[in-house]
Chain A
Amino acid sequence: MLQHSPPDPLDRVFGALADPARRGMVERLSQQPASAGQLASHYAMTLSAVVQHLKVLEASGIVVSHKAGRVRTFTVQTETLAAVQRWIDARKLAWHQSLDRLDALLREEQP
């Protein structure tokens, strides 16, 4: 039924953001770049689990990392989703979610 499916990169972005832990990491990183170890101190999960989440975020293009010495620092890559595109995506996503509910409503038996 979806007539305008989001392109592949957006699927990855939305997939990456579907996880609440990763959204939390993006929020933290958007305020201040950090290493995996620094992020891990905020979560009740292993360092390797944090690293896995960061890999998903990096693959989606939401964050980028730079290595300086022995420390790899992660930064939110705001250019990946330009502001306008992000607005369009957010509005379209809201519509698609609403229309999924509308579709379910219209499929119900009429009272």
Chain B
Amino acid sequence: MSQHPVHHATFAITRDFEAPVARLWGAFARQDLKDRWFGAHGDAVVITERTFDFRPGGRETAVGHWKTGTVSNFQSTYHDIVEGQRIVYVYDMFVNDWKMSVSLATIEVEARGSGSRLTITEQGAFFGEEGAKHAAGRAQGTAQLMGMLGDSLVD
């Protein structure tokens, strides 16, 4: 067993919306709209850093300070954008200063009757929890991840 294991995982999520594609697209393409729904929200977290540059090569970042003391850090780069059709980005997710995973995320939107369909596919390289345990000066990784997961449940 490697001292620094890497695991690979893929998942997909599909959602249908009554809103047409143009409005769904806007919710990804405009920061004022995306800030209202994407990522960490609620009383359990404070966003301390946020950038949004929606174009191929542009970056999007969000740093969240959770009540449990955990700091989540989303660092993303847009790789492909086809207006009204798809967005492909790659992001690093850090928990405290430990890099938890690197993911390729593909967002696809399509018309569905008068509404729209959103399909999200994520392919991730996940670095296991040994790394979290070794994150400098921090408590055991499992507790941090559990705490983060739990916090995200109580908006």
Residues of A within 8 A of B (CB): 1-4, 14, 17-18, 20, 23, 26-27, 30-31, 76, 78, 83-84, 86-99, 101-107, 110
Distance from A7 Cβ to chain B, minimum over Cβ atoms (Å): 13
Interface centre among A3, A26, A87, A90 (most CB of B within 10 A): A87
Contact, CB under 8 Å: B39 / A91: no
- Distance between Cα atoms of A41 and B88 in the complex (Å): 50
Taking CB as reference atom, which chain A residue is nearest B120? A95
Residues of B within 8 A of A (CB): 7, 9, 11-19, 23-24, 27, 33, 36-41, 68, 100-101, 103, 118, 120, 122, 124, 126, 128-129, 139-140, 142-143, 145-155
Could you jot down 21 A-B contacts, CB within 8 Å?
A3-B13, A3-B16, A20-B150, A20-B154, A30-B140, A31-B143, A83-B128, A86-B145, A87-B101, A88-B9, A91-B124, A92-B13, A93-B153, A94-B39, A97-B152, A101-B38, A103-B17, A105-B27, A105-B37, A106-B19, A106-B24
Contact, CB under 8 Å: A18 / B153: yes
For B140, the chain A residues whose CB sits under 8 A away are 30-31
Contact, CB under 8 Å: B118 / A99: yes
For B124, the chain A residues whose CB sits under 8 A away are 87, 91
Distance from A69 Cβ to chain B, minimum over Cβ atoms (Å): 27
Q: 4 additional contacts, CB 8 Å, given A23-B146, A106-B23? A: A92-B11, A94-B152, A101-B37, A103-B17
Contact, CB under 8 Å: A107 / B148: no
For B101, the chain A residues whose CB sits under 8 A away are 87
Lowest 10 CB-CB distances: which A-B pairs, in order? A101-B37, A23-B150, A106-B19, A30-B143, A102-B37, A27-B143, A17-B150, A84-B7, A3-B14, A87-B126
- Distance between Cα atoms of A86 and B141 in the complex (Å): 12
Distance from B66 Cβ to chain A, minimum over Cβ atoms (Å): 12
Distance from A102 Cβ to chain B, minimum over Cβ atoms (Å): 4
- Distance between Cα atoms of A103 and B13 in the complex (Å): 14
- Distance between Cα atoms of A97 and B142 in the complex (Å): 22
- Distance between Cα atoms of A31 and B139 in the complex (Å): 8
For A83, the chain B residues whose CB sits under 8 A away are 7, 126, 128-129
Contact, CB under 8 Å: B39 / A4: no
For A110, the chain B residues whose CB sits under 8 A away are 23
For A98, the chain B residues whose CB sits under 8 A away are 37-39, 41
- Distance between Cα atoms of A52 and B155 in the complex (Å): 24
